[in-house]
Amino acid sequence: MKFFLSIFFITLICNRISAQDKSLDYYVSSALHNSPLLKDYNNQSRSNLIDSLRIRASYQPQVNGNSNNSYSPVINGWGYDNAITNGANISALVGVNQKLVSKQNLQNQYETIRLQNEGLNVTGKITEQDLKKAITGQYITAYGIWQQFSYNNEMLGLLKKEENILKQLAEKGVYRQTDYLTFLVTVQQQQVQISQIRQQYQNEFASLNYLSGINDTSFTALRIPVLDSTFLPELESTVFYHQFAVDSLKLVNSNEQIDFSYKPKVSLYADAGYISSLMYLPYKNFGVSAGVSVAVPIYDGHQKKMQHNKIAIAEQTRQDYRDFFKVQYNQQIAQLLQQLQSSQQLIDETTSQLKYVQGLIDANRKLLETGDARIADYIIAIGNYITARNIIRQNTINKMQIINQLNYWNRK
């Protein structure tokens, strides 16, 4: 009866954990959704669009209302000279100012905004890759510990079954009590190991939720991470290389802005209203005026050339960073592919050895039930099996981490 109750409760617990387990996509999606940095980039892009509208608005007619009124009395001959003050000045004007700008100049300013948004788009994509890489790496780490926890639980169940068999054989005198106690110590060590792994998993699981912006302190299983293929596009087509292209376009745009800033500036202005000193026929002092304002740069100490020289230096710096990035990229990809091959080779070798270790455990288990096996040999075989399984698990996790690092560079 106790046995069936135990099976029932274990089934309930397993079903509860299975119903609550979450996938890698869930954590990545949550992290991207909760990231304030990505929201910041999106808001900056929206703000830049408003700046684009403001540029257009600034070149439309600007209408302003102005009124200046003053009175300078002369009392008993004392007061400001009327020749200067006119005694009183009253003005109420509506003025219109219209800047004249070439289509190329206006397009250059729009291009500045577009390149700013393009830079934000590139930065946002790289930030997404950084976030995906961090979340995926933490998920793989937590999943590896969860696998270790599950496997050790499985081994504990098998050891407890063997413990019951060995206890009965020890009571019948087939094995010595010291043999039984030695095996019992192994079982207890396994229980302590499971408790340590559980605590470690809870810590890593909490870190995963922390990075993802999720409030969750439950003990939840993790599904096996499904990773994309390690297909790597050409470096020039990735978002990481595209940022250098955007920087180059920004420098070209800055050079054009310098040239446009030294073009003649022309604006039209007009006003209409009332200006009077109230000295002669003030009711007739309503009028209009119009004019043209022209500003032509002549000499500024060669500042234009200096600004172009600064842009040229910035372009050389950009090229240096780009060339160094190419070297680092190729070196890192080659190193990761080499590590991936080594991990797979070690997994294959250990898996092949595991078959023999498993066969040795099965043989010892059968001999144990008949009293023909040595307890020490059986414990050693179990230890070798656990070690082999851990090697496979560790290298499988290492392989996943390497694939995660390779996938980081495949964003276009």
- Which residue would you say has higher pLDDT here, 372 or 136? 136
Rg (CA), the chain: 40
pLDDT digits (tens, 9 = 90+) for 197-208: 999 999 999 999
Q: pLDDT-based confidence at 284, cuts 50/70/90?
A: confident
Helix (H) or strand (E) holding 288: strand 286-295
The stretch 259-287 carries a mean pLDDT of 87
CATH topology (fold) of 24-59+101-262+297-408: Outer membrane efflux proteins (OEP) (1.20.1600)
Residue 219: name the closest of 24, 13, 9 by CA: 13
Task: Using DSSP, state whether 270 is helix, strand or coil.
Answer: strand
The stretch 295-299 carries a mean pLDDT of 91
Q: Residue 179: pLDDT above 50?
A: yes
Q: Residue 366: pLDDT above 60?
A: yes
* CATH 2.20.200.10 applies to domain 61-100+263-296: yes
Q: pLDDT-based confidence at 219, cuts 50/70/90?
A: confident
- Report the share of the chain in percent with pLDDT over 90: 51
CA 77, chain centre distance (Å):
79
pLDDT digits (tens, 9 = 90+) for 77-107: 888 778 777 778 888 989 999 888 888 999 9
Number of residues written out for the chain? 412
- CA dist 303 and 183 (Å) reads 87
The stretch 240-254 carries a mean pLDDT of 96
User: How confident is the model at residue 159, as a pLDDT?
Assistant: 83
DSSP state of 219: -
φ and ψ at 220, to 5 degrees?
Answer: -120, 140
User: How confident is the model at residue 75, as a pLDDT?
Assistant: 86
- CA dist 110 and 397 (Å) reads 49
User: How confident is the model at residue 72, as a pLDDT?
Assistant: 85
Q: Residue 10: pLDDT above 70?
A: no
pLDDT digits (tens, 9 = 90+) for 130-158: 999 999 999 999 999 999 999 888 888 88
pLDDT digits (tens, 9 = 90+) for 49-60: 999 999 988 888
Rounded to two decimals, what is the model's pTM?
Answer: 0.83
The stretch 69-75 carries a mean pLDDT of 85
User: How confident is the model at residue 11, as a pLDDT?
Assistant: 45
Q: pLDDT-based confidence at 7, cuts 50/70/90?
A: very low
Candidate from 67-76, 114-123, 205-214, 337-346 with smallest mean pLDDT: 67-76
Task: Tell me the CB-side half-sphere exposure of residue 371, using CA atoms within 13 A.
Answer: 10
Q: What integer best gives the mean pLDDT of the chain?
A: 87
User: How confident is the model at residue 108, as a pLDDT?
Assistant: 93
159-165-167 Cα angle (round to 5): 100
Q: Residue 1: pLDDT above 70?
A: no
- CA dist 213 and 34 (Å) reads 6
Q: Residue 364: pLDDT above 90?
A: no
Helices (H), 213-266: 239-261
The residues pairing with 62 across neighbouring beta strands, listed in sequence order, are 97
User: How confident is the model at residue 22, as a pLDDT?
Assistant: 83
Q: Residue 215: pLDDT above 70?
A: yes
Q: Residue 6: pLDDT above 50?
A: no
Q: Residue 196: pLDDT above 90?
A: yes
Domain boundaries, the chain: 24-59+101-262+297-408, 61-100+263-296
